Structure 1
Amino acid sequence: MTTVQQRFALRFELLVRQFVAHLGYELLDHDVLVSANAVLQPDFLAKGPRDQTLRGEAKWTHRPDVRLKLLRDWSAVAARYRRDGDHALLVASGFVESVRREWAENEFHIQIWDRSFILSKSAGSVLHEEFEALFAEAGSLNAIATDPVEAIVPEEGNDAVPDDAPPQARGEQLIARLSAVEHGAEHASEYELVCEEIVDYLFGGALLDARRHPRLDDRLSILDIVYRVKSQDQFWSALARDFRARVIVFECKNYAGPVGPMEVFTTERYMSTVALRSVCFVLSRTAAHSHAIIAAQGAMRETGKLIIFLHDGDMTMMLRLRDAQIAEGNGSWLENDPTEVLDQKIYEFLATMPR
């Protein structure tokens, strides 16, 4: 952050403290939270009307919007202040798109106040004018950066970005189709087809050459869908490099109940570190059983095979993030990519894996 931006950040933090008091909170002296790894100090500490403590982080960005990549980083910082019975709060200077806010609040268990919340709740006050002046000054000083990144439209993109905008976004259409598929083995093929379309819409610019039901050399083992990775894509190329994978596998489980450990053991047998087929995403209707996660972590620890679970709720969230990303166009494409959700899931999986 430049010196000019540091000054903006400091002014924003001071205004945020006044805003918290404006909402009826009592500002307290800073406390220090000692964690196992660091000493944490929030930007402000306040007591609410029900004696709940509010520990908050005020974050400034020179852009008018908060991109998903930045929101994820900021939310992780705010989440460190979370304590039982208390609230961790992120106050962002930019606008946070609603579906991104929903994902971050649910993923990190925090509250988020963005620019729209600040301006709405301070309306009619001198504080409102000061916030507006700060945001206007940042813009007038050309603090809002111009992105050099061009949009990377998915290669199935004639469906993703049509010339004439459909009455319903493509992601919402896929969400409706996903929810219409009944659970159970008799509807497995229908579920798999919808999953393939979802993966193509979400990651079609990076995952290429889809093969459905490829039979392995033993003539018995069959995988649901496999893809190769486009070498220029940052997230998927890093994943392929880190886990020595040339093929990304998607297994579709249209079960009425959660995926269990036995399904993990079956999936692991199909994977192969020797064949550079060591990454698999298991798609299911509901969240995986806790024992399945333990089994997947065991496979990672013992054989280096990465198995990540995604359920209907995860797919729905990523589809809405993709719709928002496409609607906003070129300027923020890479920084609003739904792969941030995948990256966070992989991080959580590895960070909680026992030795």
Structure 2
Amino acid sequence: MQMTAAVINAGLGDLSLGLEMAGIKVVAAYETDKGMAVIHRNNFDAPVFPLPLKIDEVKTIPRVDILAGRVYQQPRTHPKFIAREASTTGISGFLTLLDDQRPRAFFLTFRSAFLKEEPMQSFLSSAVERGYRCAYRIFNIMKETGSPVTEHIGVIVGVKWGECAFEFPEERFSAPLPPEYFLQIEESVAPWYFDLKKMEQESMLPHRNGKRFYCWKSHAYEGVDLVGWNYWKIPLIDTGDRFRKMTHREIANLKGFPASYNLPDHKNRSWLYQKLMYAVNVQVTRQIADRLIRSLSDAPIRERQISQEEQFENLFARYLAELADKSDIKWSAPNHNLGCDFMLQAKGQVLYFELKCYRGRYARLPGIEKICDRFSRLSGNGKPVLVFANEVPESIRAKCWREYQVSVWDVQNLLWLFGEYGYIKNEFIALLDYTISDIEPQPPNPNLLQEMLEYPPKSILEVDPEITGEPLSRMAAEADADAKKETIKWEDRLRHIKPGLEQFQEYEQFCVDILKYTLGEYLTLWQRQERTDDSLHRFDLCCKIKSGRQEDFFDIITHYFHTKYIVFEFKNYGDKISQKEIYTTEKYLYRTALRKTAIIISRRGSDDHALQAAKGSLRENGKLILCLSALDLLKMADIKAQGEKEPADFLSEMLDRLLIHLEK
């Protein structure tokens, strides 16, 4: 599904253009200047609304993935600063938008010197408190794009905790491109740009020195290699036989606007010069948007090169963010200087969270009391909560509370707390490297969240039908309806992904998500797109079979196919896969690496030749390759939603058919 954005202080459309060139749909723009709003409207389908928005009008902004904008900043005593800060167009007002919109990410541009000023530093701290990880950078436009200008622009990008961490593109060191690349030397230029009589009368025309660009320096025009912006003293161009003003289109070229961008002749030429010089370079905007969409597309969790502890931290951050969206609470991102990972505030109370995640089912008991002793020092200002992604004996939890006043949550409590947020629970289960089939979800005791927030809602409490009088038949009907909704959700998501290379990433993400939903209780690791050591081959996903799981399919492949790891390949083809894909995948399977099983998932399954190739691989080399279609995945999701069988049973039946009909 295409990501969406709203743009505040949209200007001439430079931000909107960079976002849309990266594949992000701009659904609304907001601009104070009516002239710029007209130009934006002429180039984009998105509606343009007037600014400034009052605080009580922020709910009119549509819900989007990305909130983008530019920051204008005058001195704090300037009347325009006071007016902007009272609305949502200033840097402080932008925080109001974040509070109301809670976008997955935001993207702000500003003049480079503003980064060091107090309002921007205050904004960064406030954004972190609202659950955003922020990155900022000053871009040298010439080095990044090759555009021969002396221009710098500041950029801040913030992404919600739980999303993939954003990283700016690597800094470039481009040499300036030739001036002719941007100038209209061979094109007809309106006579107005050659009208320099006033400058000639005032002896302001420069002396030629072999340069194409001439910019105002102190008290005269000088030939330069890099253009500096001055909308009072417009840069000049040496055409070879005379001077003229740089055209509006040439400035647009230097700013990265394509030739097709509609810049109509404007009666107020000085106004258009000013607005073009204020525009953000479109190429830089696109570079950042490309990187941002890649980060958000890797969400909900980017597992590549992220430790299990970091993934657990991201999941818990997403849980706190969900609570903040529905409750009157504030939470802060990791604050290790304070001695905790997260802090939650509501109704004058504070909870401090410290997170621990160990390999294996059980927490390391010898160190728990030492952690509690250190962590209990925060109890004077709030209530410390030690959170484990593992199992902790009830006796240890009771002792930590009794002797240290530290509440301990373990995997039982997390399964119960995450119960309302199915996608978080699924990710959590997939993260664990042990099975939870015999672990019963239980609320924390004491439940400090419930005491603070009057949480959880009744929808996730276990209800005894004998006590409530709820008819069992009605409960069964509701469960069946919920199961159908779950299946329809997966079908609808797949329907919006087109076959082919263009949307292969969306298809791959769909496959990973539905596999986590159906097989997360059996598999862990979930390492995506790992390049093999020879750097020549690349498979899409590798998972590890969890210890202690006794399902038939995984028991068979573990003991009889010497498999502990399963390779997955995703093919977003419009046609069935052929034997070629079987032979390619077979190269990734090795007995000595405990990796002799692969599952290829394609939209339409495999043809007869692929099936024969898979049988040959099994018969001759003992390598097991199963071919699933998208329909097979949906069937497994339906089995999971119904809850009457295990999704792994579907794979067992497929394995039985393959082995029974295996020829000599």
TM-score for both structures, normalised by structure 2: 0.28
Pick the aligned partner of 1:313 from 631, 637, 650: 631
Residues 171, 322 of structure 1: 8 Å contact kept: no
Q: Distance in 2 between matches of 1:274 and 1:293?
A: 25
Q: For 1:179 and 1:226, how far apart are their aligned partners in 2?
A: 26
Unpaired stretches in structure 1, ≥5 consecutive residues: 1-152, 326-331
Distance 1:185 1:253 in 2: 9
Tell me, yes or no, if the aligned pair for 1:175 and 1:319 is still in contact at 8 Å.
Answer: no
CA distance in 2, matches of 1:273, 1:305: 8
1:207 counterpart = 2:523 = yes
Per the alignment, residue 351 of structure 1 pairs with 660
Cα distance, 1:319–1:248 mapped onto 2, change above 3 Å:
same
> In structure 1, what is the equivalent of residue 620 of structure 2?
302
CA separation in 2, counterparts of 1:237 and 1:231? Answer: 10
Is the partner of 1:225 in helix, strand or coil?
A: strand
Using the alignment, how far apart are the partners of 2:491 and 2:542 within structure 1? 22
| Offset from partner CA, 1:155-201 (integer Å, 9 cap, x none) | x9752679559977434312221222111122111111000001000
CA deviation digits over 1:60-85, x for unaligned, max 9?
xxxxxxxxxxxxxxxxxxxxxxxxxx
CA contact (8 A) 1:231 1:237 kept: no
Paired position in structure 1 for 2:501: 185
Q: What is the CA–CA distance in structure 2 between the aligned matches of 1:308 and 1:348, rounded to whole Å?
A: 11
Alignment equivalent of 2:492, drawn from 176, 184, 191: 176
Give how far 1:268 is off. Answer: 0.6
Q: Which residue identity does 2:657 align to in structure 1?
A: E
| Count of equivalent residues | 194
Q: Deviations over 1:126-173 (max 9, x none)?
A: xxxxxxxxxxxxxxxxxxxxxxxxxxx89x975267955997743431
**Which residue in the other structure is 1:270 paired with?**
588
Q: Which residue of 1 aligns with 2:539?
A: 223
Q: Distance in 2 between matches of 1:198 and 1:314?
A: 11
| Root mean square deviation, CA, Å | 2.6
Shift of 1:232: 1.4
Report if the CA contact (8 A) 1:207-1:227 is conserved.
yes
Per-residue Cα deviation, 1:67-126 (whole angstroms, up to 9, x for no partner): xxxxxxxxxxxxxxxxxxxxxxxxxxxxxxxxxxxxxxxxxxxxxxxxxxxxxxxxxxxx
Q: Does 1:247 align with 2:575?
A: no
1:322 aligns with 2:640: yes
More moved, 291-300 vs 225-234:
225-234
Are positions 1:159 and 2:417 aligned together?
no
CA distance, structure 2, for counterparts of residue 287 and residue 209 of structure 1: 26
Return the match for 1:260 from 569, 574, 578. Answer: 578
Q: CA deviation at 1:273?
A: 1.9
Of the three residues 275, 279, 287, the one matched with 2:597 is 279
Quote the Cα distance in structure 2 between the aligned partners of 1:351 and 1:179: 34
* 1:197 aligned residue: 513
Contact 1:246/1:277 (CA < 8 Å) preserved in 2? yes
Secondary structure of the equivalent of 1:214? strand
Q: How far apart in 2 are the matches of 1:204 and 1:216?
A: 24
The CA distance in 2 between the partners of 1:314 and 1:197, in whole Å, is: 15
Once residues 505 and 594 of structure 2 are traced to their aligned partners in structure 1, the CA distance between those partners, rounded to angstroms, is 27
SS at match of 2:650: helix
Return structure 1 stretches of 4+ with deviation > 2 angstroms. 160-172
Unaligned runs of 5+ in 2: 1-414, 427-458, 461-478
C-alpha separation in 2, matches of 1:283 and 1:208: 18
| TM-aligned CA distance change 1:215 to 1:316, over 3 Å | same
One-letter amino acid of the structure 1 residue matched with residue 422 of structure 2: D
Greater relative CO, 1 or 2 (CA 8 Å, sep 6+): 1
The residue type paired with residue 268 of structure 1 is: E
Distance in 1 separating the partners of 2:557 and 2:549: 10
AA aligned opposite 1:159: G
Q: Which amino acid aligns with 1:286?
A: R
Contact 1:172 1:320 in 2 (8 A): no
Q: 1:15 is matched with which residue?
A: none
The amino acid that maps onto 2:561 is: F
SS of residue paired to 2:531: coil
- Aligned equivalents of 1:175, 1:234: Cα separation in 2: 30
1:341 counterpart = 2:650: yes
Q: Report if aligned partners of 1:229, 1:246 keep a CA contact under 8 Å in 2.
A: yes
Letter in 1 for 2:575: G
TM-score (norm 1): 0.51
8 Å CA contact 1:172, 1:319 repeated in 2: no
SS at match of 1:223: strand
3-state SS of 2:568 partner: strand
Supply the distance in 2 between the matched residues of 1:250 and 1:185 (Cα, whole angstroms). Answer: 18
How far apart, CA to CA, are the structure 2 residues paired with 1:199 and 1:270?
20
One-letter amino acid matched to 1:339: A
Alpha-carbon offset, residue 270 of structure 1: 1.7
**Percent of residue pairs bearing the same amino acid type:** 30
State the alpha-carbon separation in 1 of the partners of residues 487 and 567 from structure 2. 22
Mapped to 1, the partners of 2:578 and 2:626 lie a distance apart of 13
Which residue type is aligned with residue 615 of structure 2? Q
Between stretches 163-172 and 198-207, larger displacement belongs to 163-172
Shift of 1:297: 0.4
Distance across 2 between alignment mates of 1:340 and 1:273: 25
Name the SS for the 1:270 alignment partner: coil
Report the CA distance between 1:277 and its aligned residue: 1.1
Give the aligned partner of residue 555 of structure 2. Answer: 237
Partners of 1:224 and 1:251 within 8 A in 2: yes
Task: Write out per-residue CA displacement over residues 288-317 of structure 1, whole angstroms, 9 at most, x where no aligned residue.
Answer: 101100000000011111000110111111
